[in-house]
Each structure stands twice: as structure tokens, then as C-alpha cells.
Amino acid sequence: MNIKITLSMTFIILAFLMTSCVSSLSENQLDFGIKAAQKGLWDEAIFRWEKVVQSDPNSAAAHNNLAVAYEKKGYFEKAEIEYKKALQLNPKNEKIQSNYEKFKKNIDKNEKDEKKDEKK
């Protein structure tokens, strides 16, 4: 009986430690991605934030940051998917809402500009 309790407690402790490590790694990757983006290293930022999304698919911050990076790189379809996912995860986040609204305005403007160019 003692062995079962000891094994159960060990498993619970290991699970807790692993969760803490994943969370810490995600935070480090988020921060690293932000620093890369601030330097204009969008591919590096995308790489970091994609890793966070893989390990923590419920990170609204990672989805939002990834959306911004995709937008900067011109991957508009991917950006929209990530913005929507970020909003789904954290619908009241004003920063995500603002980023998505700006994105939609830019997309609308680009589409209008393209239509004008087609008429010429």
C-alpha cells in the first residue's frame, strides 16, 4: 500500500514539475520571439511563437503574436486564422481585438487598392 501511495505522489509531483517547465519554456520562447520581432527578425519570431503554440495551443498571446508576424510577412490567410484563434481563446483582450481590427482594415484597404489597379 505504501508503494502505491509513494508512486502516486511521485507521479503527481512529476506531472506538476513538467507542467511548470513547459510553462516556463513557453514564456522564454514568447519573450525570445518578442525580442526577435523588435529587431525585425520576423522569421525567427515566427519560429519561436510556432513552438509556443505547439507546446501550449491555448496561449492567446502566442497566437496573437504569430498573427502579427504572419501579417508582417504578408501571410494574410495564416494571420487571420491566428487572430481568430487568439480571440477565441481570449475574446475580451483589447490588444488582440485592436490588432485584429487594424488587420481587417488593412486587408480591406489592400483589396480596394487592388480593384482600382485592375480597372486601370
Q: Is the pLDDT of residue 13 over 60?
A: no
pLDDT band at 113 (very low <50, low <70, confident <90, very high): low
What's the gap between Cα 46 and its chain centre? Answer: 9
Query: Could you list the residue range(s) of the whole structural domain that residue 36 is in?
Result: 2-119
**First-to-final CA distance of the chain:** 83
Q: Give the number of domains in the chain.
A: 1
Question: Which backbone phi and psi does 93 adopt, to 5 degrees?
Answer: -70, 115
Q: What is the CATH number of the domain that holds 115?
A: 1.25.40.10
- Record the pTM: 0.75
Q: Which residue has the cell 481570449?
A: 90
Q: Is the pLDDT of residue 53 over 70?
A: yes
Q: Is the pLDDT of residue 102 over 80?
A: yes
In sequence order, what are the residues at sequence separation of 6 or more whose Cβ sits closer than 8 angstroms to the Cβ of residue 29?
48, 49, 51, 52, 55
Whole-angstrom distance, CA of residue 100 vs CA of residue 80 = 8
